[in-house]
Amino acid sequence: MLALDIGGTKIAAAMLDEGAIVMRRQVAMPGSAEAFGRALAELTADMPAPERVAVASTGFVQEGRIHAVNQNIISFWNGFALRDFLAARFACPIVILNDAQAAAWAEYQACETPPGNLLYLTLSTGVGGGLVIGGRLQVGACGLAGHIGHATVSLPSPAGRVPCGCGRTGCLETLASGTAIAREATRVFGEPLDSREVFARAATDRRAERILAHAARAVAEAIANCVMLLDVDHVVIGGSVGLAPGMVERIQAALMEEPVLVRVAITKAALGPDSGLIGAAQWAQAFEGRVEMEARAHAACAAHTGQADAGGHSAPVHAKK
Ligand SMILES: [Zn+2]
C-alpha cells in the first residue's frame, strides 16, 4: 500500500507492508498543482506499483476533492481533484481522508486501553483535529468533523482577535498554530522568527515562554470545550509544534487551571509524525468498499462548494439540497 500524508508544508510518501512502513520519503509542499504533480512523481518514482493508495490530506475531502478550510495555507488546494489526479497515476483503489482524522484513527488503534472518546489535536502550520467517538472515527456529514482549529476560543491573542483564513475571527488556529506562534514572536521580538526558534529561546527568554504558554492556554480552553460537548476522555497531541519540547506539558499545566470536570488525560502522539500515514493506511485496509461508501455519503450530503469572492477568499458554502 502507498500512503501519502499531504500537509501545509510537506508531502510524505510511504510504502507499507502489512501495516508497517518499509520505505518513507518527504519533500516540501509545492505551491502549485503542476509542481505538486512533479513532486509526487519524484517521491514515488522507484516505489513498486501499489495495490491501494491511502491519503491523509490537510483540508476536508468531498467526492475526491480537497477543500481548504484555511485559504491562506495552500491556495491551489481548494477544490483540487486529488482522486482524479491520483487515479491517472495509480490503477488501484484510492482512499482519501483528512490528515488529522487519519491520525486520530491511528492513535486510537495505538492506545493500550482504548478510551471511550478520543480527541486528536495536531498543532502544526495550522491546527487540526480528529475524533473517535465510541470506537468510531467521525468523518462528519461533509468531511469536516474534528476541525477544532476553526472553533473559536474566548482567550484573545495579545495582538487582539485575529481574523482567520477560514473567514472566522478568534479561531484556535490564530492562537496556537506554528504560524500564530511565529507571528506573535515576530511582533514581540521585532525580528522574523519561526516557531522552532521560539521553542529554542523559551528556556532562557521569558517572552518566548509567555508566547508558548499563551498558545497552550488557548489549546486547553478548546479541549475543555470539546470535553463539555462530547465527553472526550483522552486527548492526544501531535504535529511539529505539539510534539516540540515541553508543549504537551504546557497544555497539561494550562488544563489544570480549568475546572476538575474537564481535566482529561493528555498524551503525546504515540506514532509521532507518522500517525497520519499509518491512520490512512489502516482506514483503507479496514474498509474495502470505502470508495463507494464515501461516494454515497457525499451524494447524501449538502455539498460544500468553493466559491471565490471578489477578495479572492474562497469560503465553503452550504449548497441547497
Ligand atoms: Zn479559522
* Ligand 1 mean position, distance from CA 148 (Å): 9
pLDDT at 86: 92
| Sheet with 20-28, side-by-side order of all strands | 20-28, 10-17, 2-6, 53-57, 94-98
Return d(Cα 274, Cα 317) in angstroms, integer: 32
Return d(Cα 17, Cα 227) in angstroms, integer: 36
Q: Which amino acid is at 237?
A: I
Cell of 214: 499563551
Asked whether the beta carbons of 56 and 252 are under 8 A apart, the reply is no
* Ligand 1 mean position, distance from CA 93 (Å): 32
* Ligand 1 mean position, distance from CA 71 (Å): 9
% of the chain residues with pLDDT over 90: 65
* Ligand 1 mean position, distance from CA 178 (Å): 14
pLDDT at 74: 65
pLDDT < 50: residue spans in the chain? 291-292, 295, 302-321
Q: How high does pLDDT run on average in the chain?
A: 87
* Ligand 1 mean position, distance from CA 177 (Å): 11
Close Cβ partners of 100 (under 8 Å, ≥ 6 residues apart)? 120, 121, 122, 128, 129, 130, 146, 147, 276
* Ligand 1 mean position, distance from CA 293 (Å): 29
% of the chain residues with pLDDT over 70: 88
CATH 3.30.420.40 residue ranges of the chain are: 2-100+275-318, 112-269
3-state secondary structure 230-256: HCCCEEEEECCCCCCCCHHHHHHHHHC
DSSP per residue, 32-61: SHHHHHHHHHHHHTTSPPPS-EEEEESSEE
* Ligand 1 mean position, distance from CA 170 (Å): 7
* Ligand 1 mean position, distance from CA 73 (Å): 11
* Ligand 1 mean position, distance from CA 24 (Å): 31
Q: How many CB atoms lie within 10 A of CB 96?
A: 29
* Ligand 1 mean position, distance from CA 150 (Å): 4
Q: How many CB atoms lie within 10 A of CB 48?
A: 11
112-269, CATH topology level: Nucleotidyltransferase; domain 5 (3.30.420)
2-100+275-318, CATH topology level: Nucleotidyltransferase; domain 5 (3.30.420)
pLDDT at 292: 47
pLDDT at 133: 97
Q: How many CB atoms lie within 10 A of CB 203?
A: 10
Cα angle for residues 303, 300, 135 (degrees, 5° grid):
100
* Ligand 1 mean position, distance from CA 225 (Å): 16
* Ligand 1 mean position, distance from CA 189 (Å): 25
* Ligand 1 mean position, distance from CA 29 (Å): 21
Cell of 174: 490564530
The phi, psi pair for 115, rounded to 5°, reads -70, 165
Give 141-189 pLDDT, tens digit per residue: 888 999 999 999 999 988 888 899 999 999 999 999 999 999 999 999 9
* Ligand 1 mean position, distance from CA 171 (Å): 5
* Ligand 1 mean position, distance from CA 127 (Å): 9
* Ligand 1 mean position, distance from CA 167 (Å): 6
* Ligand 1 mean position, distance from CA 146 (Å): 13
pLDDT at 288: 58
| Sheet with 127-133, side-by-side order of all strands | 136-137, 127-133, 117-123, 234-238, 265-268
* Ligand 1 mean position, distance from CA 91 (Å): 36
pLDDT at 8: 78
* Ligand 1 mean position, distance from CA 156 (Å): 14
